[in-house]
Amino acid sequence: MTTFKTVALTKPDGRITCITLNRPELRNAQDTELLYELNEAFDIAARDDETSVIILSANGPHFSSGHDLREADWHARMRDFRTVGNWGGFGKPGAEAQMAREKEIYIGFCERWRNIGKVTIAQVHGKCVAGGQMLVWPCDLIVASDDAVFVDNTVAMGGPGLEYFAYPWELGVRKAKEFLFTSGSMTAAEAERSGMVNHVVPRAELAEFTLALARRIAGKPQFALKLVKEAVNAAQDAQGRSSAMATAFALHQLAHAHNMQLYGGLLDPSGIVSDSLQKNYRTEPR
């Protein structure tokens, strides 16, 4: 198996590949390197004809604290990786470079992962903050521990949600609006009731339960699994998911340009967040 710095790749079963986020000291904050390594790990599992199910989990106390906002040299770092899209323009001035980056490593990667020809299961524990949802939403199934909390503070930071705007399909329209308008948090139980999470289990049983579910699925004909995933994804896209997500991504870029012009940065510092919400979404070291 390939060795990575920020993710780990294992096979607990011949039919199952596990990808584990492995930046625990930073609560699995997503920098450029982690996202490219994660994408490569997904590609390796997708090319493995023996693998039927891919499990995405995380080391450390939290699944992910979201985008690593401290990564200041990303323009230079983009040159260190072989890009998978053909948009280009990472070194361009103005809004072009930022849009190029997000089109590549955010919405671009998420769409690739959503359409992998294997069943994918996200195994979530602790906090899953903002961009952390962009790792679990592309997965086919989500299993969460009973201590898991999903947080989205993007509107408080001056943005119209995440780059991968899956909220209406994950939560339904009204819950999605409330989640975004309030820059709220949602327990695993609430997420299960909204339809975003398939199962909620005790933290101590999370890995065992997810592996058992993966083994149950992996026993089915692999080609049939691939076809039924394609059929369900096509039904979702027929509802307008792809065009709505493209509109949301464009609005996201508009928010970045607006904030850059007014505040000199991608985020709006004027967002007011209650002390209780700050306690919900802040995970060390951020």
d(CA 86, CA 104) in angstroms, rounded, equals 8
Structural contact between residues 147 and 126, judged by C-beta atoms closer than 8 angstroms: yes
d(CA 109, CA 254) in angstroms, rounded, equals 21
Structural contact between residues 5 and 42, judged by C-beta atoms closer than 8 angstroms: no
d(CA 75, CA 167) in angstroms, rounded, equals 29
pLDDT digits (tens, 9 = 90+) for 138-164: 999 999 999 999 999 999 999 999 999
Residue 251 pLDDT > 60, yes or no? yes
Mean pLDDT value of segment 119-129: 98
Give the residue ranges of DSSP H helices in 3-50: 32-47
Report yes or no on whether pTM surpasses 0.85.
Answer: yes
3-class DSSP assignment, residue 283: coil
| The two structure tokens encoding residue 252 | 């996201």
Domains of the chain, earliest start first: 7-281 (3.90.226.10)
Give 286's pLDDT tier (boundaries 50, 70, 90).
Answer: very low
pLDDT digits (tens, 9 = 90+) for 76-118: 778 888 899 988 888 888 899 999 999 999 999 999 999 999 9
pLDDT of residue 280: 42
Q: CA separation (Å) from 30 to 36, 222, 227, 268? A: 10, 31, 31, 21
pLDDT of residue 80: 85
d(CA 114, CA 63) in angstroms, rounded, equals 19
pLDDT of residue 274: 44
